[in-house]
Structure 1
Amino acid sequence: MLIAHLSDPHICPEGELYQGLVDSNAMFLAAVAQVAALDPPADVVIITGDLIDDGTPASYAHAKKLLAGIIQPLLLIPGNHDEREAFREAFAELGYLPASGPLHFVAEQYGPLRIVALDITIPGLHHGDFDDPAAAWLEHTLAAEPQRPTLVMLHQPPFASGIPYIDLYACHNGPRLAHVLQRHPQVERVVCGHIHRFMQLRFGGTLLCTAPSTTTAIALRLRADAQEASYIEPPALLLHHWQEDVGLITHWLPIGVFEGPLPFA
């Protein structure tokens, strides 16, 4: 089972630039083309939030045009730049978003790996929160399939990255999430967005990784007094590959056209 994982495209209304500087829409189209070129093709595509930048219906309408290039089943969760109700309305036809409340859902039909989506966003705020209702929902959901390998997806990372200006907007109550995960060893991976960089660590008895953005990268500045900044680094996506006899391998795949293939390994 192959899962293409995109994150934080920050799609803007047609003709507008992200932060007035970067063509995030064109960069997302390049990511869609990269997914289309995968061989073998992905079984499912996931996007871990911040699909659009301003939360407006106009941006969601344009996002749907750009997403039309993805032919695989598409699993979406909101980020802090999304607007929950507009997101729910825009993607209601996908059939898995709940009619009210947080946009949690489960996808079980695309292969041996179960995908559990957790909406820990707080409308109107930039940080997330793994609150009591979210904990109860996740506990119940994971307990329902204790033997099936599982991937859990959310937007804000539940840990301190060391980048001070993004850690202000992490997911609160990370230890509570870790405690739930420790009771469910079938969770092979927790995946997040938000941080616009690839990071990996052990968390809650499993592995957690963050996906790079398809647009700008948040500067890796680890001083406590660092000033916020971003770079136009090579964008990338993650490719999660489940093999029954191996488990789940996560690949970091740069987006673009590069010299090669060369006739050696």
Structure 2
Amino acid sequence: MLIAHLSDPHVRPEGVLYQGVVDSNAQFAAAIAQVKALDPPPELVLLTGDLVDHGQADEYVMLLRMLGALDMPVLAIPGNHDEREVFRRAFVGKPWLPAEGPFDYVVGDCGAVRVVALDVTLPGQHHGVVSEEAAAWLDGVLAAEPARPTIVMMHQPPFATSIPYMDPYDCREGHRLAAIVARHPQVERILCGHVHRVMQMRFGGTVLCTAPSTTTAIALQLRADAKPASYIEPPAMLLHHWLEGRGLVSHFIPIGTFPGPYPFA
């Protein structure tokens, strides 16, 4: 099973630049074209939050217009830049969409890997939290299919990145998530967005990784006094490949056209 993983496109209304600098819509359109060009094609696309920049209805109109080019199912979860009820209205009719409350849901009919969406965002806040209620829900969901390979997707990652201007906006109470995942070894990955960079670490006995943004890269600055900064680096995505008997391998794919292919490996 192939799963394409895009994050943080920060789609804007037509003709409006992200932060007045970057054409995030063009970048996301290029990412979608890259997904469509994959051979074999992925069975599923995951979007781990910050689908739009200001949570505006016209931004979601643009987002859905671009997602319409995809031929495979798309699962999405809101980030701190999404407006929850506008997000819900935009995706109304999708079988995975909860009618109310947190955007916690389970999809198990798209292939061998089961996907569990865990909504850790807080309305009006940039940080997230694993609440006791969310933790109990996740524990029950994972216990229901203990032998099924599973991905948990969320927006804010539950660890300190050591980037000083990002860590105040992480997902708090991550110890609750770690304790639950440690009890359920079928969890192959925890997939996050938010930090606009690829990071990975062991977490709760599994592997946690964050996806790059299709728009900008947050600067990797580890000094405690570093000031917020971003770069227009090549946008990128992740591709997660599940094989029975091997498990899940995650690939980093830059988005764009590059010299090659050359006849060597």
- State the TM-score, normalizing by the size of structure 1: 0.99
The alpha carbon displacement at 1:70 in A equals: 1.3
Corresponding residue for residue 15 of structure 1 = 15
Corresponding residue for residue 153 of structure 1 = 153
The letter of the residue matching 1:253 is I
CA distance in 2, matches of 1:74, 1:207: 23
CA distance in 2, matches of 1:110, 1:100: 23
CA distance in 1, matches of 2:38, 2:17: 28
Corresponding residue for residue 219 of structure 2 = 219
Give the 5 Å matches for 1:1-265. Answer: 1-265=1-265
Q: Aligned to 1:208, what secondary structure does the other structure show?
A: strand
Listed as ranges, the gaps of 5+ residues in structure 2 are none
The alpha carbon displacement at 1:13 in A equals: 0.5
- Which consecutive segments of 4 or more residues in structure 1 shift more than 3 A? none
Q: Aligned to 1:26, what secondary structure does the other structure show?
A: helix
The alpha carbon displacement at 1:234 in A equals: 1.0
The alpha carbon displacement at 1:112 in A equals: 0.9
The alpha carbon displacement at 1:245 in A equals: 2.0
Q: Aligned to 1:241, what secondary structure does the other structure show?
A: strand
The alpha carbon displacement at 1:94 in A equals: 1.4
**CA deviation map 1:132-155 (0-9, x unaligned):** 111011011101001111000000
The alpha carbon displacement at 1:17 in A equals: 0.4
The alpha carbon displacement at 1:167 in A equals: 0.7
- State the TM-score, normalizing by the size of structure 2: 0.99
CA distance in 2, matches of 1:43, 1:176: 31
How many residues were matched structurally? 265
CA distance in 1, matches of 2:112, 2:29: 29
The alpha carbon displacement at 1:66 in A equals: 1.1
CA distance in 2, matches of 1:54, 1:250: 30
Listed as ranges, the gaps of 5+ residues in structure 1 are none
Report percent identity of matched pairs: 64
CA distance in 1, matches of 2:200, 2:243: 20
CA distance in 2, matches of 1:69, 1:124: 31
CA distance in 2, matches of 1:96, 1:198: 27
Q: Aligned to 1:93, what secondary structure does the other structure show?
A: coil
The alpha carbon displacement at 1:119 in A equals: 0.6
The alpha carbon displacement at 1:162 in A equals: 0.7
**CA deviation map 1:73-120 (0-9, x unaligned):** 000000000011110111012121111100111110011111000111
CA distance in 2, matches of 1:108, 1:82: 25
CA distance in 1, matches of 2:151, 2:204: 13
Q: Aligned to 2:253, what secondary structure does the other structure show?
A: strand
Q: Aligned to 1:66, what secondary structure does the other structure show?
A: helix
The alpha carbon displacement at 1:201 in A equals: 0.3
